[in-house]
């Protein structure tokens, strides 16, 4: 039994790392918005959904090759991100946190219903994108799409690192995150920075959405990944990009390890789903700013 | 305290008690009483449909008030309210099925939910704002999982049948009878909340919301009052859930999910944070809005607008989109909610023609 | 803002006033459907089947000369909305029967339809709805005298799958005890048949493994598939709805799991096969009708006519749920016809009408709707379950009707299981 159990452990670990990178991509988008404008985006899952549907539509309706469809999707999502920021979030500057949360929740309800209306209620498969569908890694066979997401995650992470450290806009974004008023007084176009952060976040969300769509088919329940992102960003720290990826990986591993413990010893049944939430609560109690967030949470 | 209302000339308060009356003027009291009498008489001329809508407004209104006490008055965001609502329903059904008369099962269920709320509230006092919101979201999922798993409480697959409300042999098994039960509870809970807000504890809650550092310096025990807010809000949610269970005669997991929590938040925000009448207005709005959209759509059926948008097939999407859009629009254009708008309307008429 | 919402209230009030303009010779029915909520992927075809059938009946003379006035409400699987709609219908006073949908609305309305004497034909086949007296079976939980459904109950369908699995194991020449595992979310819908199926599996000599849990939302289910692989299960019952079943099938295909998957009535259909692609190859699931859309039966002529009510060109491919919805509506309308001829189309009379015939097949639907018998003690219409297997050859991006026409996706009947009408299975 031990040998059999061991043979489950390594594949689950690898799976957790790979899926964790996907969560990390979504977490990075979330953190980007929060870092730049202190807005909690409860509609992150819906941005994934919109990206996935638009890409699917371009691929199946117009039969574009994947690369072109993908690039057009990215452009569309960029425009959508800017539009959302201008229309919805600008009036909310200065409002209390609850209002901001509720407006993103309202947006998520609206987008969900809109997607169902436009694209229907049936789950749709993506046309085959990769020539080889699966890849074997350390004894675990996984979809090539996940490898793509892991690669994208690393690229985006390094891209963000370079962006924040060396580019002017990145510097401006960090300044805005630190103190909006001081940054504005120094000439940083704060509103443009907000719009830029939403645009980039929406674009990267589309990537994650497309990956999930390729693997599972596109359906409205795809937006549940927007809920899974919360454990990831809390564990990693709400305002740290690297923390977001780290948190995503940790959540992926925790899920899989919880499942392993569940099937081998505990036989509770549901740990795969709830374990991330237990971890979230635990982290909030012990170390609310996460592993890599800034330590400015006042304790009562 | 009617500080936000404009008082008529010559209305002076000469004692602390007089200053803290719930109803600012005799007219306000008379209007409330008249409204209640009208409501009591309404089943006589309203159809079953409207009576059931009013019952829904009643138990959702109680839950919304609980959430408003937590979010509006104490400033603690909670996205897990539906879980407490569900717990109250299950607890009441369980108690009723184990011999407790339903009349007592309802408040007992409220107390059980208070205990659960405190369990979540005590650790939550260490968190603020956004972190609390996320923690309550996690609590919602954890409690949902707990409900699914604990078949002894929730009856698992078949759900849990709940006996109809009964007191001294008078059974509230028809809609009209339950209407009176639900609204009686609503009046009691709302009076309770209004009274709470004018006591020392209520003021402490508001102080904690507004500036907790100053409150702490003045001797308000933050942990105590934050947990108390959770406890009170869970009590309200539990009572509401119990009423819901005994109305349907059946309590099940279906529908106790994060979407319901979001709807409660919507009711509170649309009604107005920190306003008691606002909770009721917001609930009425959220309950009646889908019906209104449905009625409007069936009214428009066949017209050019219908054909343009494909309304017939898209009506349910339109409903959802309207709810999302309404929340967004309210937040942008009317962030203080319907209660504020109602006060502005009253002020307009009181100050006419100088209302600007 | 309040003026605008005021106008909305007035509009709602006016629109919902009891319209006494209902002609006396129309039969009013209610139809609760989910066209936009979480179960809409199966709710749309079923609801369309119901709507089209009533439209066809109206076009062809109505019931007993009277037209049917069906009000279809999309309640998006939200209980408060189902409740409000039911009360509205009750308030208007003349709805005699309701075509319902899922577990949410059916369970919420059980007490009310029982008290108000309104027959409720649901799309939920929970075994808890099969005992009209509440005392028929030892494990029966409640009395549901006014709840009906067409098709085998979830528990009976699961038992049929288990029985087929036992026969299949013997046919394949498997040695030793076959292993059975239930996979599904920890939620009323997938849990409904779990205990019954596991008990029957044990009875038939299976080794029942601990159940594997996966959520009702699509996601990454590689861990579950790896556990499945490791447990050595031979037969796995997928208890969830189509969306997450698809994720599991695809994940398990990628992980190289070789298991015979058993689907449930709402968990697998042609649309799901299209989305799952090659992962759906070989899945066995129960059907409520004797044939699929491409099947050959005398009753398919009626079904094609019914389908033309919403698809004039006649080219749409209708999934299995459409046929089931059509059958449900046909049974209800024949019951109403019988009631009208025997004393008036009222709720209690319609209920009696459901008991009037044995091995009942609606007129014109021979070979499609299965012979069903409802009695005053037993609301299980049929214990005969047809099991079909999906075969997928090639990629599945084309629309469903093209896939079915070209034979890329085929549904072939594997067997018909006749379960005994046991009393201790009643209500459980």
CB-based contacts of B355, cutoff 8 Å, min separation 6:
B347, B348, B349
**Residue of chain B whose Cα is closest to the Cα of C155:** B157
- E-strand ranges in C320-406 read 384-392
Q: Which of B32-41, B118-127, C85-94, C399-408 has the highest mean pLDDT?
A: B32-41
pLDDT band at residue A5, thresholds of 50, 70 and 90? low
C19 has pLDDT over 50: no
* pLDDT of res. A2: 46
In chain A, residues with a C-beta closer than 8 Å to the C-beta of B123 are 281, 285
pLDDT band at residue B159, thresholds of 50, 70 and 90? low
Q: Is CATH 3.30.479.30 the classification given to domain C1-152+292-382?
A: no
Domain boundaries, chain A: 24-222
C292 backbone dihedrals φ, ψ, rounded to 5°: -95, -175
Could you say which of A4, A116, A216 has the minimum Cβ distance to residue C247? A216
* pLDDT of res. B164: 67
**Residue of chain A whose Cα is closest to the Cα of B337:** A99
C193 has pLDDT over 80: yes
Handedness of CA B100, B103, B105, B111 (dihedral sign): negative
Could you say which of B158, B295, B334 has the minimum Cβ distance to residue C11? B295
Domain boundaries, chain C: 1-152+292-382, 154-291+383-425
* pLDDT of res. C18: 42
* pLDDT of res. A83: 94
- With a CB-CB cutoff of 8 Å, which residues 243-262 of chain A face chain C? 255-256, 259-260
Which of A113-117, A136-140, B132-136 has the weakest average pLDDT?
Answer: A136-140
| Test the C interface: residue of B46, B52, B263 with most C CBs within 10 Å | B52
Could you say which of C80, C110, C187 has the minimum Cβ distance to residue B250? C110
The two three-digit tokens of residue B343, written as one number: 């006060």
In this prediction, residues C45-67 reach a mean pLDDT of 90
Partner residues linked to C31 by β-bridges: C72, C99
B167 has pLDDT over 90: no
Contact A217 C276 (CB under 8 A): yes
Q: In angstroms, rounded to a whole number, what is the distance separating the alpha carbons of residues A125 and C249?
A: 13
Contact B254 C107 (CB under 8 A): yes
In this prediction, residues B284-296 reach a mean pLDDT of 87
% of chain C surpassing 90 pLDDT: 32
Chains within contact range of chain A (3+ C-beta pairs < 8 Å): B, C
B135 in contact with A, Cβ within 8 Å = yes
CB-based contacts of B293, cutoff 8 Å, min separation 6:
B315, B318, B319, B322
Render C8-41 in DSSP notation, one character per residue: HHHHHHHHHS--TT--TTEEEEEEEE-SSSTTHH
In this prediction, residues A228-257 reach a mean pLDDT of 90
A95 in contact with B, Cβ within 8 Å = yes
Of residues B115 and B353, the one with the higher pLDDT is B115
Q: Quote the pTM value.
A: 0.86
pLDDT in tens, C144-188: 899 999 989 999 999 999 999 999 999 988 888 899 999 998 777
Q: Chain A: give the shortest CA distance to residue C226, in Å.
A: 7
CB-based contacts of B28, cutoff 8 Å, min separation 6:
B2
Beta strand pairing call for B250-251 and B160-161: antiparallel
- With a CB-CB cutoff of 8 Å, which residues 381-400 of chain C face chain A? 395-397
pLDDT band at residue B204, thresholds of 50, 70 and 90? very high
* pLDDT of res. B1: 39
Q: Taking the domain C154-291+383-425, which CATH number applies?
A: 3.40.50.2300
A77 has pLDDT over 90: yes
In this prediction, residues C111-129 reach a mean pLDDT of 89
In this prediction, residues B280-305 reach a mean pLDDT of 82
Contact C74 B315 (CB under 8 A): yes
pLDDT in tens, C343-354: 888 889 999 999
Which of A142-156, B19-33, B297-311 has the weakest average pLDDT?
Answer: B297-311
pLDDT band at residue A80, thresholds of 50, 70 and 90? very high
B143 in contact with A, Cβ within 8 Å = no
* pLDDT of res. B240: 96
In chain A, residues with a C-beta closer than 8 Å to the C-beta of C230 are 4, 7-8, 263
The two three-digit tokens of residue C50, written as one number: 């119901």
C107 in contact with B, Cβ within 8 Å = yes
In chain A, residues with a C-beta closer than 8 Å to the C-beta of C271 are 122-123
Of residues C197 and B17, the one with the higher pLDDT is C197
| Test the B interface: residue of C18, C88, C139, C184 with most B CBs within 10 Å | C88
Could you say which of B77, B317, B324 has the minimum Cβ distance to residue A101? B77
Contact C223 A15 (CB under 8 A): yes
Beta strand pairing call for A134-137 and B165-167: unpaired
| Test the B interface: residue of C17, C89, C107, C110 with most B CBs within 10 Å | C107
Q: In angstroms, rounded to a whole number, what is the distance separating the alpha carbons of residues C56 and C364?
A: 12
The two three-digit tokens of residue B264, written as one number: 């409660």
pLDDT in tens, B37-96: 999 998 888 877 888 889 999 999 999 999 999 999 998 889 999 999 999 999 998 888
pLDDT in tens, C221-261: 888 888 888 888 999 999 998 888 988 998 888 888 889 99
Could you say which of A8, A15, A125 has the minimum Cβ distance to residue C230? A8
C6 has pLDDT over 60: no
């Amino acid at each position: 039994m031990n040998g059999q159990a061991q043979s489950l452990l390594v594949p689950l670990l690898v799976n957790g790392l790979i899926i964790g990178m996907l969560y990390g991509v979504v977490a990075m988008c979330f953190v980007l918005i929060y870092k730049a404008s202190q807005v909690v985006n409860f509609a992150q899952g819906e941005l994934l959904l919109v990206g996935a549907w638009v890409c699917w539509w371009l691929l199946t309706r117009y039969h574009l090759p994947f690369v072109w469809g993908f690039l057009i999707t990215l452009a569309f999502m960029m425009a959508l991100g800017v539009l959302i920021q201008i229309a919805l979030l600008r009036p909310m500057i200065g409002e209390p946190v609850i209002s901001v949360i509720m407006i993103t929740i309202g947006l998520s309800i609206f987008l969900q219903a809109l997607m169902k209306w436009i694209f229907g209620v049936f789950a749709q498969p993506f046309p085959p994108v990769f020539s080889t569908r699966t890849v074997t890694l350390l004894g675990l066979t996984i979809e090539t799409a996940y490898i793509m997401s892991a690669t994208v995650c690393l690229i985006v992470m390094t891209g963000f690192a370079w962006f924040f450290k060396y580019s002017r806009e990145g510097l401006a974004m960090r300044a805005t995150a630190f103190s909006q008023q001081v940054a504005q007084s120094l000439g940083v176009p704060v509103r443009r920075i907000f719009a830029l952060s939403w645009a980039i976040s929406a674009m990267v969300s589309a990537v994650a959405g497309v990956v999930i769509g390729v693997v599972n088919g596109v359906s409205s329940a795809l937006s549940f990944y927007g809920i899974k992102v919360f454990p990831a960003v809390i564990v990693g720290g709400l305002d740290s990009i690297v923390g977001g990826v780290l948190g995503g990986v940790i959540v992926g591993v925790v899920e899989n390890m919880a499942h392993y413990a569940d099937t081998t010893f505990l036989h509770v049944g549901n740990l795969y789903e709830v374990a991330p939430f237990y971890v979230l609560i635990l982290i909030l109690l012990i170390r609310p700013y996460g592993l890599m967030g800034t330590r400015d949470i006042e304790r009562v | 305290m009617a500080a936000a209302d404009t008082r008529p000339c010559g209305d002076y308060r000469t004692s602390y008690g007089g200053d803290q009356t719930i109803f600012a003027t005799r007219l306000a009291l008379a209007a409330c009483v008249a409204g209640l009498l009208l409501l009591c008489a309404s089943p006589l001329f309203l159809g079953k449909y409207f009576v059931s809508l009013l019952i829904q407004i009643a138990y959702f209104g109680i839950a919304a008030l609980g959430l408003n006490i937590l979010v509006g008055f104490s400033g603690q965001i909670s996205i897990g309210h539906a879980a407490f609502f569900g717990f109250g329903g299950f607890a009441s059904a369980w108690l009723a099925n184990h011999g407790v008369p339903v009349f007592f099962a309802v408040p007992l269920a409220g107390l059980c939910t208070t205990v659960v709320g405190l369990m979540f509230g005590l650790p939550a006092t260490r968190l603020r704002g956004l972190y609390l919101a996320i923690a309550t979201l996690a609590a919602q999922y954890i409690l949902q999982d707990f409900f699914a798993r604990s078949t002894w409480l929730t009856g698992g697959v078949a759900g849990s049948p709940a006996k109809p409300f009964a007191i001294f042999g008078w059974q509230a098994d028809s809609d009209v009878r339950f209407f009176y039960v639900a609204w009686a509870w609503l009046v009691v809970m709302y009076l309770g909340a209004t009274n709470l807000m004018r006591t020392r504890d209520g003021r402490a809650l508001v102080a904690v919301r507004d500036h907790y550092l100053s409150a702490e310096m003045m001797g308000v025990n933050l942990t105590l009052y934050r947990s108390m807010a959770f406890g009170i809000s869970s009590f309200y949610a539990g009572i509401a859930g119990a009423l819901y269970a005994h109305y349907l005669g059946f309590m099940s997991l279906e529908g106790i999910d994060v979407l319901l929590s979001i709807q409660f938040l919507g009711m509170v925000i649309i009604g107005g944070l920190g306003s008691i009448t606002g909770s009721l207005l917001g609930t009425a709005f959220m309950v009646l809005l889908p019906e209104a959209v449905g009625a409007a759509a069936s009214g428009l059926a066949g017209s050019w607008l219908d054909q343009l948008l494909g309304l017939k097939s898209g009506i349910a999407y339109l409903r959802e989109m309207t709810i999302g859009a309404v929340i967004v629009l309210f937040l942008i254009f009317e962030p203080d909610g319907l209660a504020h708008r109602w006060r502005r309307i009253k002020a307009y008429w009181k100050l006419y023609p100088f209302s600007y | 803002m309040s003026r605008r919402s005021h106008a909305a209230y007035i509009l709602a009030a006016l629109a919902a006033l009891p319209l006494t303009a209902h002609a006396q010779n129309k039969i009013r029915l209610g139809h609760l459907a989910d066209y936009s909520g979480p179960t809409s992927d199966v709710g749309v075809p079923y609801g369309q089947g119901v709507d089209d059938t009533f439209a066809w009946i109206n076009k062809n003379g109505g019931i007993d000369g009277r037209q049917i006035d069906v009000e279809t409400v999309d309640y998006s699987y939200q209980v408060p909305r189902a409740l409000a709609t039911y009360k509205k219908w009750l308030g208007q006073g003349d709805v005699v029967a309701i075509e319902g949908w899922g577990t949410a609305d059916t369970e919420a309305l059980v007490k009310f339809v029982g008290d108000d004497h309104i027959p409720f034909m649901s799309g939920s086949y929970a075994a808890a709805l099969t005992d009209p007296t509440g005392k028929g079976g030892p494990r029966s939980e409640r009395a549901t005298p006014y709840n009906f459904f067409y098709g085998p109950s979830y528990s009976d369908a699961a038992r049929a799958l288990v029985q087929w699995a036992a026969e299949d194991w013997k046919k394949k020449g498997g040695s030793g005890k076959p292993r059975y595992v239930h996979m599904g979310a920890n939620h009323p819908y997938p849990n409904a048949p779990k205990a019954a199926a596991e008990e029957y599996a044990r009875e038939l000599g299976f080794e029942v493994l601990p159940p594997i849990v996966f959520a009702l939302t699509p996601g990454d289910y590689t861990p579950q598939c790896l556990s499945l692989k490791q447990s050595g299960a031979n037969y796995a019952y997928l208890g969830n709805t189509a969306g997450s079943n698809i994720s599991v099938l695809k994940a398990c295909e990628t992980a190289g799991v070789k298991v015979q998957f058993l689907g449930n009535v709402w968990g697998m259909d042609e649309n799901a096969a299209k989305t799952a692609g090659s992962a759906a190859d070989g899945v066995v699931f129960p059907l409520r009708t004797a044939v699929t859309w491409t099947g050959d039966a005398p009753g398919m002529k009626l079904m094609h006519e019914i389908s033309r009510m919403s698809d004039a060109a006649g080219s749409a491919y209708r999934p299995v749920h459409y046929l089931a919805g059509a059958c449900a509506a046909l049974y209800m309308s024949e019951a109403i016809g019988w009631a009208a001829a025997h004393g008036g189309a009222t709720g209690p009379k319609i209920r009696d009408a459901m008991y009037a015939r044995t091995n009942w097949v609606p007129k014109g639907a021979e070979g499609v709707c299965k012979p069903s018998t409802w009695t005053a003690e037993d609301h299980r219409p049929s214990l005969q379950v047809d099991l079909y297997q999906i075969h997928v050859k090639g990629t599945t991006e084309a629309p469903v009707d093209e896939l079915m026409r070209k034979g890329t996706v085929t549904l072939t009947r594997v067997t018909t299981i006749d379960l005994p009408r046991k009393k201790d299975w009643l209500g459980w």
